[in-house]
Structure 1
Amino acid sequence: MNDSNAVQEKRWDGHLFARTLPLGFDPNYDQCDKPVQRRISFLVPNFSPPSSFRLSRSRPCIALDSEVEFTGKTCELSLYLYDGASESKIVQLFRNADEPFSNTLKRIQISLSKKMGSKCKKSKSNNKNDVADLPSVWKQEEASAVELDISEVSCGALLQEHCKKQIFLQIPVVGCDEPLRVIIEANPPTITSVSSFDNLQANIFAKVPVHVQVSCLFATSAVVDWYADGVLVQNDSSLYVPTDKDIGKEVTVCIRPYRTDEHDGEGCQEAYSFTKRVEPFPENTLLAIRPEWTKPRLSTDSNLRVLTYNILADQNCTPSWHPYCDEAVLLKQRRFPLIVHEILSYHADIICLQEVDEHIFQKLLQPVLNAYGYAGYYSSKKTDGQMEGCGMFINSKRLEWNSCESHELKSALPIDGPGHDSWDSSDDIYKLLKQRPDLEEIILCKLGHILQLAQVREKTTGAEILVGNTHLFFHPNASHIRTLQMWSILRLLAQAKVNASSTDQRIILCGDFNSSLVNSCGKLLIEGVVPTNHRDLKDHLNAFQWGERGRRFETATSDDDFPEISVGDNFQQMNSAIIPAPAFTHLIPGFSANLDHIVISNGLVPLSHANMPTEDMLSFMPNENAPSDHVSLLCDLAIVS
């Protein structure tokens, strides 16, 4: 071994993946941030370094730069040994990045010896003649190799210095005739997280997009390839839409992280298989009656297409709430991929969603819609026990955000007493809340409903549009609460309009109002005023209570009046974009009503809206062909002066 000409070639015995993790990075990422139960060896080639590297001590040792700061960082070291045609992890260590690499190497040697059934004793002598019994680090130099001086080098510094070079270890192991030769992959492109909706356990349907999110370290990006029963069907895409030819097949993704011009990622791949095979697409009743709305839109189409949809939060979709429905149809793994397909089918420019579970937004809606060119944001309700809220998306090709905000509706109510607020009816609302502390507690302490507000600019015309998205209190006997919530919404819209950069700003308000537009909150929205005790306001005010077991409607315990509420000249007139009003947008046993709305201001003209179903088309919702208990609303608007 002392003469470079006498060096014998030898295959590598294994390799060491060594990474310096950033400060605060969870070293357990491989178990915590990946669906490891779905990881497979399919399509992942074994790491196979070239066999032509030679060892030589004929050249002097190389000193490394040890001035880089690594305090607090962690080095992850995973050593694999070859066993015939396969490889297996033998040792995994986590060491401080500022630890001398000589100490790290001794720990690897001890662990390796134990794993291989031998005992490795630490040398009591520092005699340099004992070097054959100590592990060493080598760097490939053209046709020979040079031993590195690691006496003053930290683990992190070694990996940083040589992440672009070929270095390897010689590790003597008691009981082995020759030292093990292990090649080091220093800070290789590394997959740190892999996620897909429901950890790759959701239903997969033909025509419905499937998406995988990948995060990496020491990598420029990652190539994601898709396979159906082992056959490549999609190259280099985070998204795949199965076809009818894939029905019955198993879907697998192979992920290869890479670092441009430095590392192609070979040997760093990981593969994952989805739990369920591809299923035929179940007919969607709404899409079937709206064929004109699912055709691709022309590039010359200047109309603004708006969609609002209560998608039924998973926490609200239970057999106890929907006993008429097959439990398998209620599962989020089935419903939400179908909802995403319906949303995308409409090619809308503005999408307003209600009852959006936070994890559904993060793991499904946002990544998939982003892949289709939408930008979105999410706002959660502030009500205790609620993990759902509203989500809004805009078509980034046509629109851009100027701002995105979320407001609690109760934040707009008057709280400073009479004379402190110039908005119409402020004093009357303040007096009502003080007169009825039970109502004040419900609105200010129990309910956390929100309004999403987005200032949006149309790129072609420069027109500015204020888009609101909300979901009001659900109880059928709480019209007094919804009326106060609508007053808050109109106030927040007016304030946003005043603060807008354009005085010619148009308004679109979407959402599930849990009320028709002829009831009190709708009347306030459309006409700007609600008379004293309008319709059920007085009855609901005096009988609705919030008991220990939740909301309930009881015999009236008081005889208070609900005052006239108005917005006066503070706000412009609004009108429904869906004319005539649908017979219903919500259909369950014993109840059907028009609860969902798209309302617009001057400067926007409704041109057409998507067909609405009849009750005999749908049966009760949700069902096998309708994934929510609400009907989506869709319309085209013209932007006018």
Structure 2
Amino acid sequence: MLPKGVPMDYNQQNKPIQARVPPSRFVQGTGIPALNSSLDVSPERKREIFVLSSDHYGSVASTSKSQPTKTPTPVLVQHEKLTTSSFEVGEDSGEDNLSVRIELFIFPPQNYQTTRQRRHSGQQGACDKEPAQISLVMARTRCEPATQCIKRMELSLAKKLKPVFLDEGRISQNVRKEKVSKKGLQKLDVSAFLLQEDKLARLEETDMGTMTTEAFFRLRPSQSIQIIVKVDSNFVAEIPITIECNPPTIVSVQTFEKFHSKIFPEVPLVVEVETIHATGAVIDWYVGQNLVCHKSSCYTPTFGLAKKSIGIVITPYRDDHTGRGFEEAYEFAEKVEENLPENATLHARQNWLLPLEQTMATKELRVMSYNVLADQNAYSISDGQPFFPWVSADTLNRARRMPLILHEMLSYRADLICLQEVDELVYETLFRPCMRCFNYQGYYQGKKSNGTKEGCAIFFSLSKFEVTSESNLTAFGISELLIKEIPYLQPGDWNDCAQPVVDLLARTPDLKSVIQHQLGHVLQVAHLRDKRGYPLLVANTHLFYHPAASHIRALQCFAIAYKLSEEQRDMGDVPFILCGDFNSEIWNCPRLFTQHQTQRNFCIPEVTDWQKDLNTFNFFRDSEEPCSPEFHNDFPSLQLPKNFPEIISGYPEYPELTHYVLGFQATLDHILMTRSSSQGSLTPVRQAPIPSLDSITRDVAMPSKRFPSDHISVVSDISWQRKIKT
């Protein structure tokens, strides 16, 4: 539990609960928030309790807390104010429908309970439990007479309040100690009065009686309306309501796995809040009753918090409103784990886990590339069996894997991070918000395939690089380059080199169709500038996975080389770094970058059936249809223009492997770079070690408890020298 007075509420399932019902979306065309139907529209909410005697009805409550006393009618009120209400006026949409939204949160007198509560608690009389909150939401038109709106409020509240005062035919502790029959209770009357100069009056009897609903509520921010509850002529209770105009409101709260992710020591938690009518929101973090972090969207649990719960209280605010009374509270469903699971990759790289200041050498870059294994691919089926049968579902669960991957990403303090197989949801709810808290800028591009919700992401440290505009963060569909751009190049070096590609796709319509309609791979490109003012081009990609598709990956490499040369030319011959999962060894498809050419039918014959795969390629290789005899069965030699820059590997020593599953291991993940350009040179200095094969096979293969992905991250330190033009 949180300290008394903080609106935190927990349920028995230990799941997050809204402290109040937040509007979660907007009614089309009005700008007015609408309630999410999946939320409980009348949740209980714990608040500070003040007591007013009958002599103080209508007055403002004291700000000091007091213990309940024997007063005629205890009244539950909220903080410094009485029972609250709020209304919100949307932008003028040209229509009057749903233009004014009114929310009322009413706390009946403390000694009254609904019959539903009594049945649940098994008690017959008054109990110590806090009475249920009564909530009412109204959507009224702007130009409606205020008197009509107030009348509707009275009728709706009469229906809502009836069960509160119904207690087996009698009313407990009403002011006049009079018994009221159940029959009489059917005539419950709720009347609203305005408080003006310490006097109560009906709206129609005041000078505001002719106002519209919008004008009335705009005129009365932080003023009181008195609701009088009567049965026949018997006075039962008086409920003061304070009206607030357009209060700061929380629209949505977002965190990874909706508060249900695993929580590990030293792994950050991050929460993002969307508000309306607010400057921002203060997020306070609690462990038990202790405030552990104030005013931060990110909190990193420490060791020693094992099996403890973490909660947050969110307070929206603006300059003229503290947000008090409009807070929301949430609790993370999982308790803090006792230990951070072993990461075998980090264990092999102890010397790379240095403090930030030791890795920020002015002339060096630390570059990381990592295929993080998308959630949809983690549960892939091959021949009717799980692709990773040695891994339990709990270990594969992204709620466990992704926080551990985030921890590894942050551990190296890399200047550039290129990720592949990133789930869009994971990027939006975990990677992006958390990396931003650690001073990284990034962007994401999903694959352009239908039904695919994963893609590539680039992050760069703002301690090393300048903030970059969105126009300098772009992405290109590789298939679109092959089908829609390369065949239409102007005469020149690239047009001549592209002709074999154009001819091949023209005579293999099945291959062209697969590339055009089924492959959505992308090339991310970032135009960066470091704190010294030096320009750098950074690219990230993930090529086609299929074992029999080396020819497709070679075509993709050609398209990437073309686009990078275009981007480099536009920036003035700057150096570039290309990272990615190429699904190929460096001597296979990527040799086009390092050697500028491939030989005819360069692939190993035992791996690729050229006659079948080149002409009639399909994903599952279940087609036994013969090839059309008129098709040419050779894959052409590919060549890059002579002015294409020299490309070298970022590995001083080529790794033994970066990917290991049962029956297959290879170095598929690469960091490539230009050796020299007119504006600078790049030279690999050192690379992070790869875990031993024994440590990988300790749990059969990857992924496993010690390896959260089926790939190993690759990290290189690169010397970056600027050439001075003479």
Range into which the TM-score falls when normalised by the shorter chain: 0.7 to 0.9
Any idea what the Cα deviations from partners look like across 1:297-331, whole Å, max 9, x if unmatched? Answer: 21762221111100000001127111011221000
Q: For residue 476 of structure 1, what is the aligned residue in structure 2?
A: 547
Please point out which of 647, 654, 658 is paired with 1:585. Answer: 658
Structure 2 unaligned spans of 5+: 1-19, 61-88, 111-128, 164-188, 381-385
Contact 1:54 1:144 in 2 (8 A): no
Q: Cα 1:525–1:216, aligned 2, differ >3 Å: closer, same or farther?
A: same
Q: Is 1:505 aligned to residue 596 of structure 2?
A: no
Residue 511 of structure 2 aligns with an amino acid whose one-letter code is L
SS of 1:264 mapped into structure 2: coil
Mapped pair 1:153 → 2:187: no
The yes-or-no answer on 1:517 pairing with 2:596 is no
Matches within 5 A, 1:2-81: 24-25=30-31, 27-29=33-35, 41=45, 45-46=47-48, 54=58, 71-72=96-97, 73-81=99-107
Q: How many residues align?
A: 592
Q: Which residue of 1 aligns with 2:333?
A: 275
Percent of matched pairs sharing the same residue:
33
The answer on 1:332 being equivalent to 2:332 is no
What do the CA deviations read for 1:43-76 (whole angstroms, capped 9, x no partner)? x5348699978579xxxxxxxxx99957453413
Deviation at residue 185 of structure 1 after TM alignment: 3.1
Given that residues 416 and 460 in structure 2 are in contact (C-alpha distance below 8 angstroms), is that contact kept between their aligned partners in structure 1? yes
Q: How does 1:512-591 map to 2 (within 5 A)?
A: 512-519=581-588, 521-536=589-604, 539-544=608-613, 550-551=620-621, 557=627, 560-591=633-664
Give the counterpart letter for 1:89 in structure 2: Q
| 2:148 is aligned with 1:88 | no
Deviations 1:400-424 (CA, angstroms, capped at 9, x unpaired):
3250111001222265868855314
Return the match for 2:523 from 432, 443, 451: 451
Q: Aligned equivalents of 1:452 and 1:247: distance in 2?
A: 40
Cα shift at 1:631 = 0.4
Change over 3 Å in CA distance of 1:161–1:470 after alignment to 2: farther
- Alignment partners' CA distance in 2, 1:442 and 1:560: 17
Greater displacement, 87-96 / 330-339: 87-96
- The whole-number CA distance in structure 1 between the counterparts of 2:457 and 2:350 is 26
Distance in structure 2 (CA, Å) of the matches to 1:264 and 1:294: 42
> 106, 113, 125: which one pairs with 2:158?
113
Matched, 1:265 2:323: yes
The Cα of 1:389 is off from its aligned counterpart by 0.5
* Distance in 2 separating the partners of 1:444 and 1:107: 60
546-555 or 403-412: which moved more? 546-555
2:559 to 472, 488, 512: 488
C-alpha contact 2:284 2:314 (8 A) present in aligned 1 = yes
Q: AA paired with 2:549?
A: A
- Contact kept, 8 Å, 1:588 with 1:621, in 2: the verdict is yes
Q: Is it true that 1:391 corresponds to 2:457 in the alignment? A: yes
Q: Which runs of 5+ in 1 are unaligned?
A: 1-15, 57-65, 119-131
Change (3 A) 1:536 1:610: same
**Could you tell me how far apart the structure 2 residues matched to 1:432 and 1:17 are?**
60
Structure 2 residue 201 is matched with structure 1 residue 135 = no
**Structure 2 counterpart of 1:465:** 536
Kindly state the Cα deviation for residue 81 of structure 1 after the two structures are TM-superposed: 2.2
Q: Distance in 1 between matches of 2:398 and 2:668?
A: 23
2:468 alignment partner in structure 1? 401
The 3-state SS of whatever aligns with 1:76 is strand
- Structure 1 residues 591-638: Cα deviation after superposition (integer angstroms, max 9, x where no partner): 000000110112111121111112111221111111111000111112
Residue identity matched to 1:348: A
- Give a deviation string over 1:88-111, Cα, whole Å, max 9, x none: 332422313403332221111001
- Name which of 682, 696, 716 aligns with 1:604: 682
Shift of 1:639: 1.4
| Aligned ranges 1:139-538 → 2 under 5 Å | 149-163=207-221, 165-171=222-228, 173-175=230-232, 177=235, 179-260=238-319, 262-279=320-337, 280-298=339-357, 301-302=361-362, 303-318=364-379, 320-399=386-465, 400-402=467-469, 403-413=472-482, 421-422=491-492, 423=494, 424-459=496-531, 461-500=532-571, 503-519=572-588, 521-536=589-604
TM-score (norm 2): 0.75
- CA shift in 2, pair 1:67/1:560, >3 Å: closer
CA distance in 2, matches of 1:546, 1:78: 66
Please state how far the C-alpha of 1:285 moved relative to its aligned partner. Answer: 0.7
Shift of 1:546: 6.5
SS of the equivalent of 1:439 reads helix
Q: Is the 8 A contact 1:609 1:636 kept in 2?
A: yes
Seen in structure 2, the aligned counterparts of structure 1 residues 150 and 321 have a Cα distance that, compared at 3 Å, is farther
Choose 200-209 or 92-101, whichever is displaced more: 92-101
Taking only aligned residues, the RMSD between alpha carbons, in angstroms, comes to 3.3
Q: For 2:133, what is the secondary structure of its paired residue?
A: strand
From the superposition, tell whether residues 144 and 488 of structure 1 become closer, same or farther in structure 2 (CA, over 3 Å).
same
Q: Which amino acid aligns with 1:488?
A: A
The alignment partner of 1:340 has SS state of: helix
- Quote the Cα distance in structure 2 between the aligned partners of 1:446 and 1:257: 46
Query: Letter of the aligned partner of 2:193 in structure 1?
Result: S
CA contact (8 A) 1:313 1:355 kept: yes
